Amino acid sequence: MEDFLSLRRFSVGYPDRVVLQNIDLEILRGEILTVIGPNGAGKSTLLKSISGQLALLGGSVVMQGEDLGKCSAVERARKMAVVLTEHIRPEYMSCREVVSAGRYPYTGRMGILQPRDKEIVEEAMARMKVTELAERDFNAISDGQKQRVLVARAIAQDTPVLLLDEPTSYLDLRYRTELMETLKGLAREGRTVLMSLHEIDLALEVSDRILCVQEGKSVWCGSPREVLEQDRIRDLFGMPGEMYEKLFRETKSRLCGSDAVSDHTFFTNRSCKYFPCHKGADPEKFNCLFCYCPLYAMGPGCGGNYRLTRNGVKDCTGCLVPHRRENYERIMEKLRARNRAVSKTAAATADVQFPDTTLRQVISDIDSPSKEMLELVRGDLSRLAMPPGSLGKIETTAARMAAIQKPRSVTAKQAVNMTKGLTGMSSIAAQRGDEVQVVDVGIATPYECAQVLDRRIRLGTDNIVKGPAMTTEEAEKAVMTGVSLAYQAFVEDVDIVGVGEMGIGNTTTSAAVISVLTGAEPSKVTGFGGGITEQAYLHKVQCVQRAIEVNKPNVEDPLDVLAKVGGFDLAAMCGVFLGCAKYGIPAVIDGVISAAAALCAVKMCPACRDYLFPSHQSVEPGYMAAMEALGIEPWFKLDMRLGEGSGCTMSFAVMEAACAILERMATFEKAGIDDSYLEEIREAEKKELE
């Protein structure tokens, strides 16, 4: 990583107007530097001056020690390619010809393309996904397509520096995020990307550094984190504080908040000072792929000095196996060995005397609640002092609850929370007095918490994009872990079980499972999860698609689906649902992951459905797909997506109310009301039921 492109006492503007002056900036190789600023701040002027399109008012652009102002046009064109904002209308040029124009600085006198040039052109087109447009007339394609072709042209110019003036204009969501991915890829290859963007969130996401410009003021350059920490955007755009807070609070807390500490996992530690992917870190010191030493889980044996930095990054220096990329395979090998050891001990230390049974046995044991009981309760309900059906779903719930259990007052005692739930859920549960049991079925990150029941199958599943998440044996073991938890609840006289979870990346596995079991398109059932960006979303959809393509799960065999594209949490939750059905405990479905698990359970054993109760409607698109497949309608719409079983507690209240009416509500006889006028409605309802 060396200084690569420097602006020295750089002043830009027009003969009659200085826009920005005395900029000194060192830009690194492979860096993405984004210029942001309000309209008219001089973003384009700055970029045009760097590209040489505008004459400089002062200073110089130096690239690898060479003053670009003194280069010939062709030399400069071999160093820097541009995408401009202006429209071009070449007559009768195919898109391939436009992209080929990028090879100009390399071709001979007559501009004839050599085979190597053609290869580069095709590569660039493939990269920007415009290969199928190659023969089309450039003027006949849409603005978004044109933009992609122009970016491909710049890529084909094969320069160490790419200069893009608002490259996202005209691009729709998908191509915008794909373009950002492409740019990141180019940066990883060592190309420097300099661009201006209007989309601040996108800029914060992809940039290594951000350059804030404002006409007549001095420029400021810093990491996205610093931009947020110092509220640069508010000042830059002169936003009212309230507006700024509203727009950027979330981003800010995500990128630099202290609660970022709680999610320093493999995938999402954006607060890591080397995020993304430790680019810019000194490779000799710390260049592990993730933000903590993966060997830490091996206990104190890693030999490194392990300390939590202010950013919540676990920094491991002097580790036994130096955290360099070259060592990645060795590190992973050790980790795998450790995982194998953990799964053995987990099996040995099962602490509930759970009757020795098999999944097959559990499934065949499950019966639907008796129809007679259902009828009986309906009869009871019709004698209540109210017009039939006026309590709506509470009534039907009462009937179903009564059919499952003996009619009695119910207090939900326990929510089985599959992985780790010490935040939102616990406060809601505490308010209601519900118990929360947190069970760990496979947290890969090390932690210390006595309240968590350790039922780890192993430390994290495998990457479902590359192969099965786990073996079928492991899947069955996870399901049986869930059944054993339901058994435990049964033993402890728990009235209702709510099944939630917390995990990272498990909306992805859920989407995959739901997609397979319902036959829905991955894009239709994949959502934004706990709060990811648009491009991460697209990546997620691709992951789901890949996972299904790679693993080819058997739709007829839910266990196979769980093993191949699911996760330990899904499998265990599926087991809890099955167990609840077996032991006659009403079980409440929480969010999308819970719904995916319930779907697996019902696919394994249709009778299980009668024990399931909905809660809130998750905003995750997969949720509704799963619920429709289950034939269960959610009760509330609270726009929740936290998970952790937080929605379940709401349902507990409804279910308690349902049981309460059976017990406490005065019957018509007791109230002494003549109810003959209701006879007709009862008749009608009876007919409807038949």
Partner 1 sequence: MFAALAAAMLVGALLCTVLGSVSIAPGKVAEILLGGGSGAERNILTQIRLPRMCMTVLLGGALAVSGYLLQTFFGNPIAGPYVLGISSGAKLAVCAALLFVAGGERQSSGLLMILAAFGGALVTTGAIVLLSHRVRHMASLLAAGIMVGYICNAVTDFLVTFAEDAQIVNLRGWSQGTFSGMDWGDVAAAAAIVTAAMVLTVLCSKPIGAFELGEAYAASMGVDVKRYRVILILLSSLLSACVTAFAGPVSFVGIAVPFLMRKLLRSSRPPVMVPACFLSGAVFCLYSDLIARMAFAPTELGISTVTSLLGAPVVIYMLAVRKR
Q: Which residues are catalytic?
A: 644
The single residue among 102, 369, 460, 500 that binds partner 1, judged by CB under 8 A, is: 102
Q: Which is nearer to partner 1, 150 or 576 (CB)?
A: 150
Q: Which residues are 17's β-sheet partners?
A: 14
Query: Nearest approach, Cβ of 179 to partner 1 (angstroms)?
Result: 19
Residue 82 contacts residue 88 (beta carbons within 8 Å): no
Interface with partner 1 includes 559 (CB under 8 A)? Answer: no
Residue count of the chain, please give it: 690
Instruction: Using alpha carbons only, give the angle 614, 262, 467 rounded to the nearest 5 degrees.
Output: 70
Interface with partner 1 includes 77 (CB under 8 A)? Answer: yes
Query: Nearest approach, Cβ of 73 to partner 1 (angstroms)?
Result: 5
Q: Which is nearer to partner 1, 109 or 664 (CB)?
A: 109
Interface with partner 1 includes 101 (CB under 8 A)? Answer: yes
Strand order in the sheet with 161-165: 80-83, 161-165, 192-196, 32-36, 209-212, 220-222
Interface with partner 1 includes 51 (CB under 8 A)? Answer: yes
Question: What sign has the CA pseudo-torsion 561, 564, 567, 572?
Answer: positive
- Pick the piece of the chain touching partner 1 (CB under 8 A) from 60-68, 102-110, 546-554, 667-675: 102-110
Q: Which is nearer to partner 1, 47 or 212 (CB)?
A: 47
The single residue among 39, 72, 349, 431 that binds partner 1, judged by CB under 8 A, is: 72
The single residue among 84, 161, 398, 624 that binds partner 1, judged by CB under 8 A, is: 84
Three-state secondary structure of 539-585: HHHHHHHHHHHHHCCCCCCHHHHHHHHCCHHHHHHHHHHHHHHHHCC
Q: Which is nearer to partner 1, 46 or 465 (CB)?
A: 46
Query: Nearest approach, Cβ of 77 to partner 1 (angstroms)?
Result: 3
- DSSP H or E stretch at residue 676: none
Residue span 15-44 as binding mask against partner 1, x where in contact by CB under 8 A, dash where not: ------------------------------
Q: Is 319 helix (H, G, I), strand (E, B) or coil?
A: coil
E-strand stretches of 37-160: 58-63, 66-67, 80-83
Interface with partner 1 includes 45 (CB under 8 A)? Answer: no
Interface with partner 1 includes 126 (CB under 8 A)? Answer: no
Query: Nearest approach, Cβ of 111 to partner 1 (angstroms)?
Result: 4
Q: Which residues are 66's β-sheet partners?
A: 63
- Pick the piece of the chain touching partner 1 (CB under 8 A) from 78-86, 217-225, 542-550, 645-653: 78-86
Return all residues near 396 (Cβ < 8 A) that are at least 6 apart.
Answer: none
Count of alpha carbons within 13 angstroms of residue 136, beta-carbon side: 13
Q: For residue 173, what are its two tokens?
A: 């969501």
Residue 119 contacts residue 126 (beta carbons within 8 Å): no
Encode burial over 418-429: b for 16+ CB neighbours within 10 A, e otherwise.
Answer: bbbbbeebbebb
Interface with partner 1 includes 78 (CB under 8 A)? Answer: yes
Instruction: Using alpha carbons only, give the angle 55, 180, 118 rounded to the nearest 5 degrees.
Output: 75
- Pick the piece of the chain touching partner 1 (CB under 8 A) from 103-111, 195-203, 243-251, 562-570: 103-111
Interface with partner 1 includes 105 (CB under 8 A)? Answer: yes
The single residue among 16, 86, 356, 688 that binds partner 1, judged by CB under 8 A, is: 86
Provide the angle, in degrees to the nearest 10, between the axes of the packed helices 424-432 and 648-664.
20
Query: Nearest approach, Cβ of 229 to partner 1 (angstroms)?
Result: 36
- Pick the piece of the chain touching partner 1 (CB under 8 A) from 93-101, 205-213, 451-459, 682-690: 93-101
224 cis-preceded (ω within 30 degrees of 0):
no
- Pick the piece of the chain touching partner 1 (CB under 8 A) from 1-9, 82-90, 215-223, 671-679: 82-90
Largest CA distance in the chain: 106
Gap between the Cα atoms of 595 and 630, Å rounded? 9
Interface with partner 1 includes 243 (CB under 8 A)? Answer: no
Query: Nearest approach, Cβ of 91 to partner 1 (angstroms)?
Result: 4
Q: Which is nearer to partner 1, 82 or 374 (CB)?
A: 82
Give, as one character, the DSSP assignment of residue 1. Answer: -
Encode burial over 599-611: b for 16+ CB neighbours within 10 A, e otherwise.
Answer: bbbbbbbeebbbb
The single residue among 12, 41, 45, 76 that binds partner 1, judged by CB under 8 A, is: 76
- Pick the piece of the chain touching partner 1 (CB under 8 A) from 105-113, 205-213, 246-254, 372-380: 105-113
Question: Which candidate, 4, 233, 237, 180, places its Cα nearest to that of 535?
Answer: 180
The single residue among 6, 21, 53, 327 that binds partner 1, judged by CB under 8 A, is: 53
Q: Which is nearer to partner 1, 99 or 439 (CB)?
A: 99
Residue span 456-495 as binding mask against partner 1, x where in contact by CB under 8 A, dash where not: ----------------------------------------
Q: Which is nearer to partner 1, 55 or 666 (CB)?
A: 55
The single residue among 2, 109, 238, 284 that binds partner 1, judged by CB under 8 A, is: 109
Query: Nearest approach, Cβ of 172 to partner 1 (angstroms)?
Result: 22
Interface with partner 1 includes 110 (CB under 8 A)? Answer: yes
How many CB atoms lie under 10 A from the CB of residue 454?
Answer: 15
The alpha carbon torsion through 92, 97, 102, 105 (nearest 10 deg) reads: -90
Q: What's the alpha-carbon Rg for the chain, to the nearest Å?
A: 31
Q: Is 459 helix (H, G, I), strand (E, B) or coil?
A: coil
- Pick the piece of the chain touching partner 1 (CB under 8 A) from 92-100, 176-184, 594-602, 642-650: 92-100
Interface with partner 1 includes 90 (CB under 8 A)? Answer: yes
Gap between the Cα atoms of 387 and 559, Å rounded? 46
The single residue among 16, 92, 329, 674 that binds partner 1, judged by CB under 8 A, is: 92
Query: Nearest approach, Cβ of 26 to partner 1 (angstroms)?
Result: 23
Compute CA 363 distance to the chain's CA centroid, rounded to the nearest angstrom. Answer: 33
Residue span 148-187 as binding mask against partner 1, x where in contact by CB under 8 A, dash where not: ---------x------------------------------
Q: Which is nearer to partner 1, 92 or 677 (CB)?
A: 92
- Pick the piece of the chain touching partner 1 (CB under 8 A) from 34-42, 51-59, 316-324, 326-334: 51-59
Question: Which candidate, 637, 600, 596, places its Cα nearest to that of 615?
Answer: 637
Question: Which candidate, 605, 77, 532, 451, places its Cα nearest to that of 270?
Answer: 532
Residue 145 carries which side chain, given as an amino acid letter?
Q
Q: Which residues contact partner 1 (rule: CB under 8 A)? A: 51-53, 72-78, 80-82, 84, 86, 88-93, 97-98, 101-102, 104-105, 107, 109-111, 137, 139, 157
